[in-house]
Amino acid sequence: WGHDAQDRLTLPEGPLSHVDAGRQHTCAITTDGALSCSGPVAALVDAVPEGTFKYVDLGANQACAVHDDGSLTCWGDGDLADSTPSSGAFTAVSLGVFHACALTEDQLITCWGDNSDKQGNAPAWVFDSLTSGGFHTCALDILGELSCWGLDSYGQATSPF
């Protein structure tokens, strides 16, 4: 369950409902909503928020998790936690290096953080899922069509379909 050089290894107990891996850390949610993280980044592992969760996503040195009530909490090293949307109900969240996007219960996407490559310019459309790369984000809409936005220097935000 991870490198334990800093004694930050926390094995989750019980069956898992969700897991995500970041640059040097991993977080998992048990079927009863408990969140557990491991890895060498103290700001992530030692600051895991309290509560019950349904979704977690990890960036380079940051993490965001969706609580059972749809509220969103971000923590770690960086500015994303300071600019997390303070209201709304969310179903998923996805982190890039310096930006994050979240899917609302109304299936709209809201983004925050760095927007220097337009990675925060989510289309105003209805989506089912999303995922972020370092400086771009892609989402599947309700018709199964792919939309991507952000840095496209290598075609990473250009749909191959």
96-142 per-position pLDDT tens digit? 998 999 999 999 999 999 899 999 899 999 999 999 999 999 999 99
Confidence category of residue 6, pLDDT binned at 50, 70, 90: low
Count of C-beta atoms within a 10 Å radius of residue 154: 8
Residue 4 has pLDDT above 90, yes or no: no
Render the burial of 79-113: b for 16+ CB within 10 Å, e for the rest: ebbeebbeeeebbbbbbbbbbbbbbbeeeebbbbb
Residue 11 has pLDDT above 70, yes or no: no
Query: Taking the model in full, what pTM does it have?
Result: 0.89
pLDDT at residue 25 in the model: 85
34-92: per-residue pLDDT in tens? 998 888 777 788 889 999 999 999 988 899 999 999 999 999 887 777 778 878 899 99
Tell which wins on pLDDT, 1 or 30.
30
Q: Which residue has the tokens 């310096």?
A: 98
Residue 19 has pLDDT above 80, yes or no: yes
Question: How is residue 155 written in tokens?
Answer: 């075609």
